[in-house]
Amino acid sequence: MKAIVQTAPEHGAVERKERERPTPAADEALVRVHSAGLCGSDAHAYKFVPGYEWVTTPRVMGHEYAGEVVEVGDDVSSIEPGTNVVERPIHECGDCFQCRNGQSNVCQNFEITGFHHDGAYAEFVTVKEQYLLPIPEGVPLEHAAITEPTSIAARAVLDQSVVQPGDRVLVEGPGPIGMLTAVIADSLGANVVVSGLDRDATHRLPLAEDLGLTAVNTQSQDLDAVTDEFTDGIGFDVIFDTTGHHSGVEMAAEKVRRGGQIVIVGLPSSESELFFTPLVRGEVDVNTSYGSAHRNSRQALRLMENGTIAPEKLIDTSFSVDDPVAAFEAFLAGETLKPVFRFWDR
């Protein structure tokens, strides 16, 4: 079967290879992968940036996908062949304190598909039944492929933030998670600004404007002036930092209003020199959001089913499985938002 494999621990070592079709164990289903999205973490592993040394190679990449169950093991009872499904790719252990405490998204012993074991950039993948969710009938497979990043955004906005209708919200970073976070906050009635950099000016910031959001290039526009105009000089009620860079948190601390909230979603890649005294004096709520829970995956599918999320505006299916490097490089350059590989058509 076709598969996209990271062959070595170095930037760009990704190729289309042939792999043996897997066989499901008794508690697993065999899924024929239809569409699989490219995530920021996939891109970081592709670059093999610091922090990804633990990832072994060679391995089949990919964890955001949708497909059809074609075979089930003898002990599988909750899913049947012919069912369209997505996987919850962060697998909780179910036994640690956090799992037993209803905090499975921060499980001590989690495993991630495509990182700890072979992933979904392949024609077929095997998955334990408890990690599969049926796709609503009205959601196409190529749209459902972005369920996982949508669930992360849903958790950030719906569970971890205090966003209310009419709030002035800043989302830092117009990548997939940032854009989905902005769209969900907008759907609640918030007034949303999305900020980015020069590399986002060609595709991502114009896309934000097409989605009805306010877009700001912080390298060519004065964010202080935008903040003053947008918030009447008060500051943003809620700021989501999805940049994955320490400067995002530092900028959020400057732009949030007294009594407001900062939600850190991206994983800062280096140490921050954030000065906390103004945050304490302003009683700013600093919260975090990591991964998603089972209910967030269900929320994500419903948001696509009811039209709140319009995946057709976000995904890019123009890239070929046979040339995965082109998709990774375009993503890293900000030329596209969410490449989605398609393994078969229907």
**CA–CA dist 204, 280 (Å, integer):** 34
Assign 346 a pLDDT band (cuts: 50, 70, 90).
low
Residue-by-residue DSSP string for 317-337: --S-TT-HHHHHHHHHTTS-S
Is 337 part of a structural domain of the chain? yes
Residue 270 structural domain: 161-288
Strand bridging mode 168-172 / 111-112: unpaired
Lowest mean pLDDT among 15-19, 168-172, 182-186, 342-346: 342-346
Total number of domains constituting the chain = 2
* CATH number for the domain that contains residue 170: 3.40.50.720
The token pair that represents 229 in the structure block: 């105009």
Is 184 part of a structural domain of the chain? yes
Position of tokens 């696509």?
304
Is 155 part of a structural domain of the chain? no
pLDDT tens sequence across 236-256: 999 999 998 888 898 999 999
Q: CB-based burial of residue 204 (10 Å sphere; 0-12 exposed, 13-18 middle, 19+ buried)?
A: buried
pLDDT tens sequence across 38-81: 999 999 999 988 888 889 899 999 999 999 999 999 999 999 99
Is 38 part of a structural domain of the chain? yes
Expressed in angstroms, the distance from the first to the final Cα of the chain is 18
Position of tokens 């954030």?
274
How many Cβ atoms sit within 10 Å of the Cβ of residue 52?
14
User: CA nearest 192: which of 236, 250, 244?
Assistant: 236
Is 154 part of a structural domain of the chain? no
The partner residues of 194 in beta bridges, in order of sequence, read: 171, 215
Is 189 in contact with 166 (CB distance < 8 Å)? yes
| Predicted TM-score (pTM) of this structure | 0.95
Domain boundary among 244, 267, 288: 288
What are the distances in angstroms from CA 225 to CA 93, 155, 172, 187, 216? 48, 30, 16, 26, 11
Domain boundary among 262, 288, 314: 288
The token pair that represents 66 in the structure block: 């949708």
